[in-house]
Amino acid sequence: MVPLYRFAQFDAFDSCMHGISRKLEESHCGFSQALHTGEPAEVIVKNRTRLETYFNHEGATQFVLAEQTHSDHVTCITEVLTRGWEKMEDAVADTDALVCNIPGVMIGVLTADCVPVLLFDPVEKVVAAVHAGWRGTQKRIVAKTVKRMQEEYGSLPSNIIAGIGPAIGGCCYEVGEEVASHFLTYGKSAVMPNAEKFMLDLPQINKFQLMEAGLQKEHISLSGICTACENTDYFSYRKENGCSGRFLSMIGVR
């Protein structure tokens, strides 16, 4: 049994499968799921196989990950094909948001402080997984993903349910003015001035962007978990001075 973080609002639907892996100190590489950060590939693939077995029971058959580049590129997955799972070479190139409506196909994003956002439209049965660091958030990648779900799958934003996963919180994410300046319009609940620095709340800003995109406030769940504060359970790039570990947030339709 793999301990996963789950959102109750996704679990309420039989047509949705999802889960967010956690750090497990006793596992190899802390149960990291990242192939691109220099850990031995065979160890990471073994860690992924444990997750795969778990998700197989949920109904997942294929697993798709992307080569994440802090872009605002959104890719719709239209083939029943595992990609980026056993090797990086066949990952979806240069993409930070995946969208899919094929039953059995799990899509996911890797993070360690950046914001993982999972989306599910229970009416059109479409899911999305989004990687939003400060660059992706500046480029409003969650809003662009919602737009693609509208255009390609007919999703109504008011039907979409969102889960904003564990990420570095406003308690710990100190940034300089050059970063903060992009987000000042979101107000003090998102960017708190702190002497010469600013405390940036990226999960909160992503929530605001989802609401601007038409999602209902009550359809958006925040995990409330700060990766730096809860570093024993989640990888934190900041807290661990540039760690190689990443945890994986996945979602799919049955």
> How are beta strands 161-164 and 220-222 bridged, if at all?
parallel
Decide whether 161 or 226 has the Cβ nearer to Zn ion.
226
Residue 226, interface with Zn ion (CB under 5 A)?
A: yes
Please say which residue, 7 or 234, places its beta carbon nearer to Zn ion: 234
Q: Is the dihedral of CA 216, 218, 222, 223 positive or negative?
A: negative
**Is residue 228 within the footprint of Zn ion (CB under 5 A)?**
yes
Q: Which is nearer to Zn ion, 84 or 170 (CB)?
A: 170
Q: How far is the CB of 83 from Zn ion (least distance, A)?
A: 33
- 108 contacts 63 by C-beta, under 8 angstroms: yes
* Dihedral (Cα; 214, 216, 13, 63), 10-degree rounding: 40
Say whether 210 sits in a helix, a strand or coil: helix
Nearer to Zn ion, 76 or 192 (CB): 192
171 makes contact with Zn ion (CB under 5 A): yes
111: helix, coil or strand?
A: strand
Residue number, 169 or 245, with CB nearest to Zn ion: 169
Are 163 and 9 contacting, i.e. CB atoms less than 8 angstroms apart?
A: yes
- Using CB under 5 A as the binding rule, whether residue 112 contacts Zn ion is answered as no
For Zn ion, which is the closer residue by CB, 108 or 169? 169
Question: What's the rounded Cα separation, in Å, for the pair 121 and 202?
Answer: 23
Contact between 162 and Zn ion by CB under 5 A: the answer reads: no
169 binds Zn ion (CB under 5 A): yes
Give dist(CA 242, CA 107) in Å, integer. 25
Among the residue ranges 44-52, 107-115, 167-175, 238-246, the one whose residues contact Zn ion (CB under 5 A): 167-175
Q: Is 228 helix (H, G, I), strand (E, B) or coil?
A: coil
> Is 229 an interacting residue with respect to Zn ion (CB under 5 A)?
yes
Q: Does 172 bind Zn ion (CB under 5 A)?
A: yes
Cβ 209 to Zn ion, closest distance in Å? Answer: 21
Q: Which two tokens stand for residue 86?
A: 């056993």
Instruction: Give the interface with Zn ion as residue ranges (CB under 5 A).
Output: 169, 171-172, 226, 228-229
